[in-house]
Amino acid sequence: MCGIVGYIGPRDVTHFLLEGLHRLEYRGYDSAGVAVSSLGGIEIRKREGRVSRLAALLEEQPVSGLAGIGHTRWATHGVPSDTNSHPHTGGNGEVVLVHNGVIENYDSLRTQLQGLGYVFRTETDTEAIAHLVAHHLGEQIKLGSDINKDTCLKAVTLTLGRLKGTYGLAVLFRELPDLIIAARNGSPLVVGVGKGEYFVASDASPLVGFTDQVVYLDDHELAVITADNMDLQHRETGERAPSVQTLDQVSTDTDLGDFEHYMLKEIYEQPHTIENALRGRLDDDEATAKFGGLNLSAQELRRIDRIVLTACGTSWHAGLVGEYMLEEFARVPVEVEYASELRYRNPPMSDRTMVFAITQSGETADTLAAMRECKRKGLPTLAICNTVGSTIAREADGGVYLHAGPEIGVASTKAFTSQVTVLALLSLFFGRMRNLSYQAGKRFIYNLKSMPEVITKTLEVHEKVKHVAEKYAHANNFLYLGRLYNFPVALEGALKLKEISYIHAEGYPAAEMKHGPIALVDENTPSVFIVPKSGIYSKVISNLEEVKARKGPVIAIACEGDEKIAKLADDVIFVPDVEEYLQPLVTAVPLQLLSYHIALHRGCNVDRPRNLAKSVTVE
């Protein structure tokens, strides 16, 4: 949550800050602001609402300087407003900072600082940090110290020692206009390295096109940055040499191209992203999958007798599909845990249990905490992750990258299908290691290789889905129903609709409908049945007829050529017929498009839905 940018160097500061904030707006769009440091002091511009409103303010009231920081907010403490927008000032304006995270002890800090005479003007937890830095800086001045890089670093370090919670920080000092101090604990920060310039950002996307050399900060690290130098400090172990990595993104990865919205662009990228997830990982000779990053020997892998998949939101739904695949093909018990629950539970797990953390961003706070807890207990802990250089990717014992490219739309689409593809590869890998036959492995590979082409064909339903969306966009409640592999897809379809159209929707196993949810069925509540050909097709048809008997409108996602469903459902969206375990890759696509077009008809912002942000880096 929240996006941070910073810059120091010869470029136009506000140009980079605004460009960076536009690229980070998916992390929060309640308000935005910048602070620019010059020889005359620090000037602040901030405005409630989207970054475009801040850009308009800067046209009216331009600023220029040697260094600057910026912020786009997802509110945690205090309502969205001009006043609560970042940056925030400390003391009498000698310190200005931006913050991503949550300070759990801000209330007690606020009380202490008010007792010392500091005046609070906002409802945010961040203002307590700013005043605390100013306080520690002032205490050093009282003892006769000059304001220099060392005293500023000490003021920040002393402040961090008193904070409980998470933070990504970028700090400016009025008396040192050529200095930025950045710090992280639990909230991501990356420093871009240029020639005579440095950049700071919450993730790498703002740096694309400006520099391809980056340093990812670890927890408890601080970067002391001037235009010609960066010193990296660890709060406990002291100075360390920065590990500079090369960024492989290109600017076109985050361009809209010919699409109206990022969500639609990312839906249409799925044939390509599934192909990327498969590339180089299929071994035809051995009829298995191969991975370069699991970092476990064959002997260690064969010891595993239980797998735990932990994730949040859409990634959790992908994990449910993975559970079905791994249990069917690898014959190993699998549990799917909400990361927000697992981090606080103490379930019995032996050293023969393997944990996979599934995450698009690699920064999800709950997933990171759950992974760290499992690592602390000595379990082999791996990641299925999209973002290279992210915290989870770096801290996991090993893992698999999705290679889906940046996902900008807040509602995840291509990451879901890429995660399911990787979980299918893992099912093949573990299955062949255990009891899956060579011929079954060859068949599995053949089916996986066909999926990019199948998804391309599936996207031909777009116009049909658009028509269905127009018909049902007025509804205020939806039910999504599927069985076995398509139950997680029902959950995912309902989540997509909730996220971007603000319609109440629930996903259920179709047979569970009669154990309560059927009470919701009426002529105004559409039910979306995911009913492709399967071993229990007739059972799902029976569930569908129960809804029809109660005058509930039915939208069916069915296989091409299914004449029976065409007679029963009010509207049918036909998709290609594939093996049952790969159906989620196909059936998810029309549900993504359905939520997209319903949201458009209701006038919703599909890429920036209210109250949501892309990367949930706070608890």
Q: Does 588 map to a domain? A: yes
Q: Are residues 494 and 377 in the same domain?
A: no
Q: Are residues 241 and 273 in the same domain?
A: no
Structurally, the chain folds into a number of domains equal to 3
Provide the CATH number for the domain around residue 373: 3.40.50.10490
Q: Are residues 564 and 464 in the same domain?
A: yes
**What distances in angstroms separate CA 330 from CA 8, 59, 282, 349, 429, one per listed residue?**
52, 60, 17, 19, 8
Q: Which of 218, 253, 288 is the last residue before a domain boundary? A: 253
The confidence score (pLDDT) of residue 25 equals 85
Q: Are residues 463 and 441 in the same domain?
A: no
The confidence score (pLDDT) of residue 211 equals 93
Active-site positions read 2, 614
DSSP per-residue letters across 158-218:
HHHTT--B-EEEEEEETTEEEEEEEEEEBS--EEEE-SS-EEEESSSGGGTTT-SEEEEPP
Q: Which of 449, 483, 505 is the last residue before a domain boundary? A: 449
The confidence score (pLDDT) of residue 517 equals 80
Q: How far apart are CA 602 and CA 605, in angstroms?
A: 9
Q: Are residues 360 and 493 in the same domain?
A: no
Entry pTM: 0.86
The confidence score (pLDDT) of residue 296 equals 87
Q: What residues of the chain score a pLDDT lower than 50?
A: none
Q: For residue 68, what are the domain limits?
A: 3-100+167-253
The confidence score (pLDDT) of residue 14 equals 94
Provide the CATH number for the domain around residue 220: 3.60.20.10
Q: Are residues 205 and 281 in the same domain?
A: no
Q: Which of 449, 475, 499 is the last residue before a domain boundary? A: 449
Q: Does 121 map to a domain? A: no
Torsion angles phi and psi, residue 83, rounded to 5: -65, -45
Q: Does 396 map to a domain? A: yes
